[in-house]
């Protein structure tokens, strides 16, 4: 049962998070408080990120909203990478861990569609899948490295 705890905690956090409205999750007030001088604005202003048919930039959204966008999308990659790792730890099968993670990404986006002020997108599922792929690939490389190290000893 211990091997499922991390998985269960992540799924519960996802369910809670995707059930919140955008306003309940907004990081902008905190970002305005902690980053009032807008550090790295000049560098960040050079980036224009195509996403869901629009271009997201500091110019288009404003500094704090752009930072929030980066944090939110980075969170997709990180949390679904952690979820894939937790699933792999529980079942020890790379392909199945990936498939389960992607299925949960679709379920998460569907859950968001039931929440006011949230917009579910296939782009977020792709980010989630990318996070899962990166995490599982890193686990694969670590396992490969450890097995080579054991063979050479």
Residue at token pair 């960040």: 44
pTM above 0.75, yes or no: yes
Partners of residue 67 on adjacent β-strands: none
Q: Give residue-wise pLDDT tens across range 135-147.
A: 999 999 999 998 8
> Per-domain residue ranges for the chain?
2-29+74-152
Determine the Cα–Cα distance for residues 131 and 153; give it in Å rounded to an integer.
33
**79 within 8 A of 10, measured Cβ to Cβ:** yes
The neighbour count for residue 47, using CB atoms within 10 Å, is: 12
**pLDDT at residue 153, rounded to an integer:** 64
pLDDT along the chain (153 residues), means of 10: 93 94 94 97 96 92 97 97 98 97 97 89 96 98 88 70
**pLDDT at residue 11, rounded to an integer:** 96
Q: Give residue-wise pLDDT tens across range 54-63.
A: 899 999 999 9
Three state DSSP letters for 74-143: HHHHHHHHHHHHHHHHHHCCHHHHHHHHHHHHHHHHHHHHCCCCCCCCHHHHHHHHHHHHHHHHHHHHHH
Lookup: tokens for 126: 């792709």
Query: 114 vs 19, 96, 118, 120, 137, CA distance in Å?
Result: 8, 27, 8, 9, 33
């Amino acid at each position: 049962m211990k091997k499922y705890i991390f998985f269960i905690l992540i799924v519960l956090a996802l369910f809670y998070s995707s059930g919140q409205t955008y306003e309940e999750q907004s990081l902008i007030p905190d970002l305005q408080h902690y980053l009032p001088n807008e550090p790295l604005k000049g560098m960040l202003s050079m980036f224009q990120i195509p996403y869901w048919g629009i271009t997201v930039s500091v110019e288009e959204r404003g500094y704090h909203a752009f930072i929030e966008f980066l944090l939110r999308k980075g969170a997709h990659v990180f949390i679904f990478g952690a979820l894939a790792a937790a699933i792999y730890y529980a079942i020890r099968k790379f392909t199945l861990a990936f498939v389960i993670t992607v299925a949960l990404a679709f379920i998460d986006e569907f859950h968001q569609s039931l929440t006011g002020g949230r917009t579910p997108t296939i782009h977020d599922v792709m980010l989630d899948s990318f996070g899962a792929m990166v995490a599982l690939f890193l686990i694969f490389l670590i396992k490969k490295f450890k097995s080579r190290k054991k063979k050479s000893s």
